[in-house]
A and B are shown apart, each in its own frame.
Chain A
Amino acid sequence: MKTDEVPQDEARTYGGQKKLMYAVREDGEYTGVKSAGWEVETYATVRAVEELDRLRDDAVARAKAGATSPLEAHMYVRRMDVATLAAVTGIWEWRVKRHFRPSVFAGLSTALLERYAQALDIDVAALKRAPE
């Protein structure tokens, strides 16, 4: 890639930042060049973020309707999935999934609720409510 080929497509995903790329100058020498973004990369990032947002909105709606526990919604609000939440809390995946059932969640011990709350960085009272 030549220095004048380093893409400068203002990417919303960079939050106004520029990334460092390595590119070749006219005289053949490598140099660092700041890039404001590449449309191709932005498309992939935005798709991934949109998918996370979709999962979040879907879980929040289901939690509000009582179809899943608030835990699942809070998990997606924190951009986690079951595997990540299980790894962070040290609770088996099948157990985490079981705790998505509102009836099971309602009976969780304070100790378990605190583990989840800590992993999600919210307090227990907030964990028991569906997120906005």
Chain B
Amino acid sequence: MADTAASPRFQHRQSAHCESGVVANLLTHNGLKISEPMAFGLSSSLAFAYIPVVKMAGLPLIAYRMPPGNVMKGVEKRLNMRWVRQTFRDPSEGARELDAQIDRGRAVGLQTCVYWLPYMPEDMRFHFNAHNLVVYARDGADYLVSDPIFEDANRCDSASLQKARFAKGAMASHGLLYYPTQVPREIDYEAAIRGAISRNYKYMTKAPLPVIGVNGIRFLGRTIEKVGKDPAKREKYLPAFLGHIVRMQEEIGTGGAGFRFLYASFLQESAKLLNNALLAEAAKDLTDAGDEWRRFALQSTKMCRGRATMDTAQLAGILNDIAARELAVWKKLRAL
């Protein structure tokens, strides 16, 4: 077992996605070297969900991964380690606990609201409460922050960090602070990878609702076609809706193509670890599906900008093709 306290200085490592980045970096810091794609894959975090009843700023929820917290929970299960997780009713107690942990030399993960982080570029500031980062040191009134979506470590003043930790509203973090314990020295990759893929197979192909998994991708295509035929919606709502899909797919730190490239990278790394040709093939096929997602984003944006004729049937066609490709990948993986 690695001792978490009084460990060497935290190494910042840039990641595509905040949660998988924080999890991979904290585990690596605590003696278990693990890549971001491996943390993402072992936690079975790839998904697709189109949930029209849940609205964000009037637009439906579209997710390419499992809900926040899934990477942490998933690696806990696969690696048989534990996270110490603390939330606080009293914000000042949350601040004291953070200082106590930092002063003990521990790097801790925090769940924060993007909007209040001062180093966030203006155009990335939105009220999103489930952003993860690592605090690894204090310097005067500032904290040294390893926010994995950035190239380098950042500084954050204590008042701003406190606001970001205790922002209220949907998915409020209540100051969530976490760090790993009982970190194993090695991973039983054979069991962990097979278990994680099998679970992800179920999410993507066996969901009980038509809006989740591979079927959800087709459902989204049908919805786009419907919106395109609705005279009340096709002028203003349709471009906003398509832009929203592109943002969820590309902007929100996905590593490209809505986490498809990240997961394909996990499959490739797994193929090498297990010396398994089927995994290598699946990695290639999922990369191809990811390329189609990028094409979808490109085409729909061209249509929104008037650089191509708006053709919702064509967009639905791309999505159906993606669904077929992803289904084939999962069928292949099932034979693993």
Contacts and interface: CB of A to CB of B under 8 A. Distances in A.
A114 B16 CA distance: 39
B250 A87 contact: no
Given A15-B124, A29-B268, A46-B123, A22 B255 contact: yes
A29 B149 CA distance: 22
A19 B16 contact: yes
A103 interface: no
Contact of A48 (B116, B150, B247): B247
Contact of B251 (A30, A34, A44): A44
B247 A44 contact: yes
A116 to B, nearest CB: 12
A15 B169 contact: no
Given A18-B151, A44-B301, A87-B170, A24 B287 contact: yes
Q: Which has the most chain B C-beta neighbours within 10 Å: A6, A81, A84?
A: A84
B121 A38 contact: no
A interface secondary structure, majority: mixed
A23 B243 CA distance: 23
Chain B interface bracket (under 10, 10 to 19, 20 to 34, 35 or more): 35 or more
A45 B151 contact: no
A49 interface: yes
Interface size class of A (residues with CB under 8 A): 35 or more
27 contacts: A1-B294, A12-B123, A13-B121, A15-B121, A15-B123, A19-B16, A21-B16, A22-B37, A22-B264, A24-B287, A28-B284, A30-B264, A34-B151, A40-B246, A40-B297, A40-B301, A41-B250, A43-B301, A43-B305, A44-B243, A44-B247, A44-B251, A44-B301, A79-B115, A81-B57, A84-B170, A88-B127
Interface of A: 1, 6, 12-24, 28-30, 32, 34, 38, 40-41, 43-49, 51, 78-81, 83-84, 87-90, 119, 121
